[in-house]
Amino acid sequence: MIVSGVITDKSFGSNPYLPNIPVYVSDDKGKPTQPMVITRSDNNGKYSFSVDDNVKNISARLNSDTIITKSLSPFIDFDFSNNKVKELNEVVVVAPKKEVVNKPVNLESKPKIVKKEDLFLKYLPHGLLILGGLIISVILIRKAIK
């Protein structure tokens, strides 16, 4: 048997035809049967496909929450005008509390002290580069003025 029809949503106004909507053989709850027999509506909302004689239901799925299931007949139109998507409930996300663990302080361990000599050696190359750049800048400026 060939089943055909149109898929619409009249709330869209001047163009109520829904393109690319899957239409498939299903059980009475809208779940696809195996082997899966499926087609999609064209740009004008029209679809047509061939099904076996033992098929009982055809479904169209707008999204995962909006499925219309109808009994088999040669012409089945699906109208999603009254099937609005359910509003999602508000979800509140709460961060887990961080557990504070009080560790005893070991007074015998001393914090690492950075010696002044180490800091001097660490920053000496930076200072020399800056100083060299200033000297070269002064020399170039003097030559430009002359």
pLDDT digit string (tens) for the chain, length 146 residues: 899 999 998 877 778 899 999 999 999 888 998 888 999 999 999 999 999 888 999 999 988 778 899 999 999 999 988 765 544 456 667 777 777 666 666 656 666 666 666 666 777 788 888 899 999 999 999 888 87
pLDDT of res. 86: 47
CA distance 103 to 97: 18
Question: Given the DSSP bridges, would you call strands 22-26 and 38-40 parallel, antiparallel or unpaired?
Answer: antiparallel
Domains of the chain: 2-79 (2.60.40.1120)
Tokens 């557990």, located at residue: 99
pLDDT of res. 115: 63
Whether 83 contacts 68, CB under 8 Å: yes
pLDDT of res. 46: 94
pLDDT of res. 63: 82
